[in-house]
Amino acid sequence: KLKRIVTIIQGGLYCKGYNPAGLDGNFGPGCAAAVNSMKTDMGFTTTSPGTVTPKIFKGLLTMDAYVLLPGGTAAARSVQQWLNNTYLGRKNFFVMPCDGLYSRNTQKALVYALQYEIGMTDATANGNFGPGTRDGVRDHGTFNKGAQDPGGSHWGRLFHGALIFNKYQVPFDSTFSASDSAVVES
* Amino acid 7: pLDDT: 97
Residues 6+ apart with CB under 8 A from 38: 13, 16, 18, 56, 60, 66
* Amino acid 46: pLDDT: 64
Check if the beta carbon of residue 24 is closer than 8 Å to that of residue 36.
Answer: no
Q: Measuring CA to CA, which residue among 44, 49, 41 is closest to residue 72?
A: 41
Q: Compute the 3-state secondary structure of the chain and give helix, strand, coil in percent, each to the nearest 5.
A: 50, 0, 50
> pLDDT tens digits, residue range 115-166?
999 999 999 999 999 999 999 999 988 778 888 887 788 999 999 999 999 9
- The β-bridge partners of 175 are 148
> pLDDT tens digits, residue range 45-87?
866 778 999 999 999 999 999 999 999 999 999 999 999 999 9
Q: Please state, in angstroms and rounded to a whole number, the distance separating the CA atoms of residues 117 and 120.
A: 7
